Structure 1
Amino acid sequence: MTPGQAGLPTGAGPRRTPGLRREELATLTGISIDYYTRLERGKETRPSPSVIDALARGLLLEQDEIDHLRSLAALAARTPPEPPAAPSRAVRPGVRLLLESLRPSPEYVVSRTNDLLAANPSGLRLFAGIEEWPVKQRNIARYVFLHPAARDLFHDWGNQVRGGVAHLRPLAGTDPDSPDLTRLVGELLLKSPEFARRWERYDVRIRSYGRKTFHHPEVGELTLGFQSLRLEGTPGHQLLAYNAEPGTPEHDAVALLDLLAHEPASRPATPGTASSTPP
């Protein structure tokens, strides 16, 4: 964030950083330079909500970033709790029944670190090739960065990876020592230079709904709406629901994915087609 973006004069002389100086941010937020310096160095760990809100306004943060800043401030202000129990991977029978009842629409359940815990047939088949991995290795972030089919599958792979990193970043701030997170992040930092580069940007913007376009090797191109739903009673679990209007080529494509789910992976469909005849 430059002084110009904040509405401040750039001043004379060279700058060691393109971002805001301490005194500039202090001016924007109405906080003394001394107090802001103590905050930045971790010597002040109990800022008031008004100070947090002033910092958020001064830095032009968006809502996901404001929520993350408040979570970090709350964490710093209290004594660290006992390490939590390992997150559950168990998916309730009722949720599995829900996944089946929503066929042929692709639906799946993920953990807080995007482990793929359960899916209906088209939900699993949507991520071409992921079924070849052992069940405990199936993770959407791992798939996006490390599976050879991922770059071709997602129409906007760059936006997809940005969202995957932004999903994990808040968890790293509020629960940095959790084994499930440290294992996944450590693996991706080691194996994916693209993940390592994006991890250093500290993006925390989350997309919980919208539309995604896939170039699927079996059913061709399809654009689906999606919605993320939190599952109460199982902390961290989310249901990802994809949808297509009945009677559209996309709906035919997901119906075909549902039929193909128990067949070996077939050869790619002709580019531009939405469906093909099942084996």
Structure 2
Amino acid sequence: MVDRGALGEFLRNRRGRIGPAEVGLPAGTGRRQTPGLRREELAALAGVSVDYYIRLERGRDTNPGPAVLDALATALRLDDDERAHLHALARNAAGRPARRPRPAASPRPGLRLLLAAVRPTPAYVLSPTSDVLAANQEGYRLLAGVEQWPAQRRNLVRYVFTHPAARTLFVPWRRMAEDCVAHLRTVAAADPDSPELARLVAELSGTAEEFAALWRHYDVRVKSGARRTFQHPGVGRLELTSEILTAPDGQRFVAFQPDAGSPDRDAVALLAHAPAYR
């Protein structure tokens, strides 16, 4: 069931991140009860009435137009991912969520073929919530220890927050953790009724305090590829660049590529022969 309070939650979060000085407003008199802009300040910056903004934030008005959303996004200094997230939350609140096919529980055949075609580049087929639906041998070995988990437990976000090897594999670990949670926030807007997302968030919020804190912090970021550093227990340090292809149903093909002619290319070739993590 769509959470009609999600739009207000996001607005409150972003309002609390901006101080009056950042948008050219005087600090005013009196002690502020909460950090960030007051409701009346944000309403003035966005060109809407205070009463209307309060109704939006409290979930009593669930049908803001695109112009209002864009004005709020500009006032809140949202980036492109955050702006798209705001519009998605508004569509959900109005009962008009974007519809796309439910992702299959098994990898798309074409993406599975790509796993073999790109070897020895480590590659994965991931669900929208980052379940590892398939991987090539180098991909499994790059995530040291994930092969020891049952197939239904293999999830990149779960691995980052709960597998002991992850803390030293990702350099820095914190950046990978933040990116994973920020991506899940985009999934929540794209598919608010996802049972897979609800189960994963509930599980990790109850077992990993760092996940719970990052979920509350509410960063929003679409994963579109990044430079990653790995300290692998079998082949040492690697600098790899991720490339991501997203299918219409939300399944993602993710490959971690070394630079041509670099020592990382030789290290990647050794991954399939690296000893299994113990």
What TM-score comes out, normalization by structure 1 length?
A: 0.88
Among residues 269, 274, 277, which one is paired with 1:255 in the alignment? 269
**Offset of 1:157 from its aligned partner?**
0.5
What are the superposed Cα offsets for residues 158-210 of structure 1, whole Å, 9 maximum, x if unpaired? 11000010011122234333211111111101110000111101111233112
- Please tell me the residue identity of whatever aligns with 1:156: P
What are the superposed Cα offsets for residues 54-106 of structure 1, whole Å, 9 maximum, x if unpaired? 00000001110000000011112236799x98631111333222110110011
Higher alpha-carbon Rg: 1
Q: Secondary structure at 2:73's aligned position in 1?
A: helix
- Please tell me the residue identity of whatever aligns with 2:19: T
How do 1:82-231 residues align onto structure 2 when only pairs under 5 Å count? Answer: 87-231=103-247
Pair 1:59–1:175, CA change in 2 (3 A): same
Q: Secondary structure at 2:231's aligned position in 1?
A: strand
Pair 1:92–1:172, CA change in 2 (3 A): closer
Unaligned stretches of 5+ residues in structure 2:
1-17
Matched with 1:237 is 251
Pair 1:224–1:79, CA change in 2 (3 A): closer
Aligned length: 261
Partners in 2 of 1:8 and 1:173 — Cα distance?
31
Unaligned stretches of 5+ residues in structure 1:
267-279
Partners in 1 of 2:84 and 2:101 — Cα distance?
24
Partners in 2 of 1:206 and 1:79 — Cα distance?
21
Do 1:103 and 1:258's aligned partners in 2 also have CA atoms closer than 8 Å? no
- Please tell me the residue identity of whatever aligns with 2:145: G
Partners in 1 of 2:61 and 2:277 — Cα distance?
57
What are the superposed Cα offsets for residues 220-245 of structure 1, whole Å, 9 maximum, x if unpaired? 0010111111124xx11001111113
Q: Secondary structure at 1:43's aligned position in 2?
A: coil
Pair 1:44–1:95, CA change in 2 (3 A): same
Identity %: 52
Among residues 70, 76, 97, which one is paired with 1:59 in the alignment? 76
Pair 1:18–1:239, CA change in 2 (3 A): same
Pair 1:217–1:80, CA change in 2 (3 A): closer
Partners in 2 of 1:28 and 1:249 — Cα distance?
52
Partners in 2 of 1:228 and 1:85 — Cα distance?
19
Partners in 1 of 2:36 and 2:93 — Cα distance?
25
Moved more, 190-199 or 84-93: 84-93
Partners in 2 of 1:171 and 1:264 — Cα distance?
32
Q: Secondary structure at 2:21's aligned position in 1?
A: coil
Matched with 1:19 is 36
Partners in 1 of 2:64 and 2:246 — Cα distance?
30
Matched with 2:88 is 71
2:67 paired with 1:50: yes
Partners in 2 of 1:38 and 1:145 — Cα distance?
37
Partners in 2 of 1:100 and 1:265 — Cα distance?
22
Partners in 1 of 2:215 and 2:260 — Cα distance?
39
Do 2:45 and 2:75's aligned partners in 1 also have CA atoms closer than 8 Å? yes
Partners in 2 of 1:173 and 1:146 — Cα distance?
25
